[in-house]
Structure 1
Amino acid sequence: MEIVLITGMSGSGKSVALHALEDSGYYCVDNLPPELLLTFAELEQTRGAKRVAIAMDVRSATSLPLVPAQLDILRAQGVTVRPLFLDAGTDTLVRRYSETRRKHPLSRSDLQDQQHALYEAIELERELLADLREQAHVIDTSIIRSSQLQGYVKGLISAPNTQLTLVFESFAFKRGIPLDADYVFDVRMLPNPHYDPDLRALTGLDEPVMRFLQHSPEVRLMFAHINKFLTHWLQSLARDHRSYVTVGIGCTGGQHRSVYLVEQLANAFSKRWVTLKRHRELDARGGVFMGPSPGQKSGSTIF
């Protein structure tokens, strides 16, 4: 049996992730108390269940410390466990709660300043969930759309769980560094196709931009340096039983240089490792926002 355990910050999109898994054929349970995890897993095994998804959150704060040991027990019994942790920036979470006027499960009602109470509750939640975050694959939902999150979750569960999976993600520094990145490489010093009027509207997936960057010695050198760094350390990370490693490649707009390098690196490493690709800014051009970035009008906010 395979269990996908979804945890994370309140308001980070756990319900969206759970719906994506339900669409993929998983039997889904929301807000299962940790005390019942082993009993529930045993029940599902007797029923012959193959794929189960469980969401837990800070409403079970007092018993969350039990979870890591329970996951070890399940693994020892031959159950495949995939922990996912959904995260988002504090300002994003505050904005989502303000828009929906929902109350955070850890908010204190005795404080007059409810905005301060919300910030306090979010920081307390981060502290309570720190151990679960450390052991899970993290997905940053701060500025992605619900359709992006669903695609990310489906991509992760489709990857083999028997070896380390590399996730390469392009992004724009002007919209923030992804919280889920294990390594971040800044490629803003490379030649920028944006300043060529014929290339400005294109992306790193288009042949003219690819040719422009392929002919740059600086781009080739940057690729070689990142390739060498990852090649040297990935085997050590695999020996440390890491299931996922997320590598963020960032440029100014997340459209040309970072996209191109993500494509080239994913192609190079796919010969040795399971690789997934994400283009945060390009993927965000369709669907419904998980939450607006600063200065943008709000889209549908999904909890």
Structure 2
Amino acid sequence: MTDEKMQLVIVTGMSGAGKTVAMQSFEDLGFFCVDNMPPALLPKFWELVKESGKINKVALVVDLRSRAFYDQILHMLTDEDSEPATIDSQILFLDTSDKELISRYKETRRSHPLAMDGRVIDGVRKERELLAPIRSNAQYVIDTTSMTPRELREQIFENFGTEGATGKFHIEVVSFGFKYGLPIDADIVMDVRFLPNPYYVPELKSKSGLDDAVYKYVMEQPVTEKFYNHFISLLKYVMPGYQKEGKSTVTIAIGCTGGQHRSVAIAKRVAEDLESDYTVHIQHRDMNKRKETVNRS
């Protein structure tokens, strides 16, 4: 282990209370997450974590209906060879009212795991009884009865994230050609085929929007500047909203006819303008497809 103190969070609670959302939230906070690891594998997993020396935040999302499972985790944390002074361990218990749990099971048409052939309410009551000792030992108890997934995510960020943490939000900017189809993962699509096309300028035809001559040609058009100011203002206005709603990635797709000139230039400028406030990745999906076609022929 390194000298840095490891943060270990054991996430448990009532079935249907939001453990899946919790795991996704911890992943966005940079935790190494494991969901429902078999109890027999826990000692080996812990050994590998300690040996690696590179993992300092772990979230175990586990089903603790088995008292033996809970005891095994406690033993793992208090074992004299595990250097407990270097581990900051906490239990997060997710709870929900019986009425809400029953409603969620009815909505998904699932059987409760402790009442596969009986009434959901019987399974809920049995599980609550089994988990009562664990709930009483939890450092954090979050009642998700009236929470949306976004609100649960925010609560986890507040309790377990560093100051100002908002998750790994980033922006993907993709230029593309409409003749090759829309990017299927696009959240925002902008068609820039209305801008003057460098393709029809002989000395620019074989170049791309990354070349200075093409970039200047596109950007120096009066219509481009007016359009771009509106477009970038819109993007800067909506991005905080995507973050607030818990979205981890927003893909902005900018397209022209072939994805070689106009879309590439606009995408380049968009990425440069947004990267001062966000993590931005850029991809020019179709920029070289025309050259590839010419080479094959």
The TM-score with structure 1 as length reference comes to: 0.47
Which of 1 and 2 has greater Rg? 2
Higher relative contact order (CA 8 A, sep 6+): 1
The TM-score with structure 2 as length reference comes to: 0.48
